[in-house]
Every structure is written in structure tokens, then in C-alpha cells.
Amino acid sequence: MTAILTLSSRNYSSWSLRGWLLCRLAGLEVIEEIVPIDADTRAELLLLSPSVRVPRLTHEGASVWDTLAIAGYLNELYPDAGMYPADRIMRAHCRSISGEIHSGFHNLRSALPMNLKVRHEHFKIFSGARPDIDRIEEIWADCLQHYDGPYLFGVAPTVADAMFAPVATRLLTYGVSVTPETSAYCDTIMQWAPMQEWIAAARAEPDEMEDLEVEF
């Protein structure tokens, strides 16, 4: 039975990106179903909050939404795909930081919305977002130090990298000043083959969200 992944904007929707990367990690081939940017989808993107609408995975009678629910479902189906570290302690760590990015960092989300088509050289970052950026750098530094990189839990990407990938794009889009270690990790994410494929598709889609093209 064909798997369908419902998505919205590739350029602006960090949740769609996460869901798509999770399917790639699992090795599940999906048909992408794009939700038009109507009033409801527009509100979802501008509020920068997860929605029951996207991403949604429909597979063999199951309908799964929310990125962590999709991750759990795929890990059950493909336990050998390496979506989570094999080691119990590392796996617990991976789940913890994935949950943290899933539920937190609201100031970062609102101050630095995902936009893969642009680069800002002198973007003024809302001061309230700085603690979120500092915490993300702390998480990444801890993982990279303990597990030797280049991904957060070693030589291969995991659910945690899929969850944090949109943050890496935000830091680059807005020219955020970060440590060399953070910069190197962002480069790793941007060079990840699925990310390059997603970004190419994002750049090809039409500009439909002028609200998010404004520096605010």
C-alpha cells in the first residue's frame, strides 16, 4: 500500500521538513501530497506551531500526525534503520533533546521563521530569542563532544538531527553569530543529501507567503 506524506510549504514549514526527513531516515518511500496555502495553512505557518494537518503520514491504514508520533511509528516499523542510537543511554538522550526542540524554543520560532530562499546579513535578532539560541548551542556542543560528530549522535544522522535541521537553516538564513562548533554542525546538516534535495525543491516553489518575507 502506498505511503502518503501530507506537507505544506517546503520553504517555510519546518514541521513539514522534519516529517519528510524522518521518512528518509526510515527509508520509507512516500508520495508527497501538498496542502495548498489557504487561510488555515497560512495561519499555521505564521503562528509557527505544529498542526494536525501537516505533516501527516498515511500508511497501511494508519494516519499519523505530529513529528514525534511519526518518528515513533517509523521506528516501530523499521527498527533496523538506525533512527535512534542503539545504545540505551544515547537513545534516551536523543529522545530527550528531540522532545525539547519539539515543544520549546517559541521565541526562536517567532523571531527567526524558516525561510530557505533568503540570507540576511544584518538581521536584528529579538533579544528574547538569544536564550533559545544559547540553549541550542549548548545541546549541540554537548552531543558533539560526547559522541564525536559530525551528527549529534555520531557518524550517522538520527531523529535528533531531523528535529534540529530547521534550526540550522534559521541560523544561516539570519546570519546568527555562533560558535565554530555550531557553524560546523550547520554545515553538516546543509550538506546532508536529503537536505540538499529538500532545499532545491523549496527554491523552486512559488513565493506565496509575503508576510514572512518582511524583516521584523
pLDDT tens per residue across span 54-74: 899 999 999 999 999 999 999
Task: State the pLDDT confidence band at 48, using cuts at 50, 70 and 90.
Answer: very low
Identify whether 172 is part of a domain. yes
Identify whether 212 is part of a domain. no
Domain final residue, candidates 33, 53, 81: 81
Identify whether 205 is part of a domain. no
Domain final residue, candidates 81, 113, 136: 81
Q: What is the Cα Rg of the chain in Å?
A: 16
Residues 169 and 127 in one domain: yes
**Domain tally, the chain:** 2
Residues 14 and 97 in one domain: no
Distance CA 120, CA 111 (A): 13
Domain span at 58: 4-81
Residues 121 and 163 in one domain: yes
Identify whether 209 is part of a domain. no
Domain CATH code at residue 49: 3.40.30.10
Do 209 and 43 contact (CB within 8 A), yes or no? no
Residue among 120, 122, 117, 109 at smallest CA distance from 209: 117
Task: State the pLDDT confidence band at 215, using cuts at 50, 70 and 90.
Answer: very low
Distance CA 169, CA 175 (A): 10
Residues 44 and 101 in one domain: no
Identify whether 66 is part of a domain. yes
Residues 114 and 39 in one domain: no
Residues 97 and 57 in one domain: no
Identify whether 128 is part of a domain. yes
Residues 93 and 156 in one domain: yes
Distance CA 151, CA 157 (A): 6
Supply the pLDDT for residue 201.
95
Residues 99 and 114 in one domain: yes
Domain final residue, candidates 24, 49, 81: 81
Mean per-residue pLDDT of the chain: 89
Residue among 138, 87, 102, 92 at smallest CA distance from 15: 102
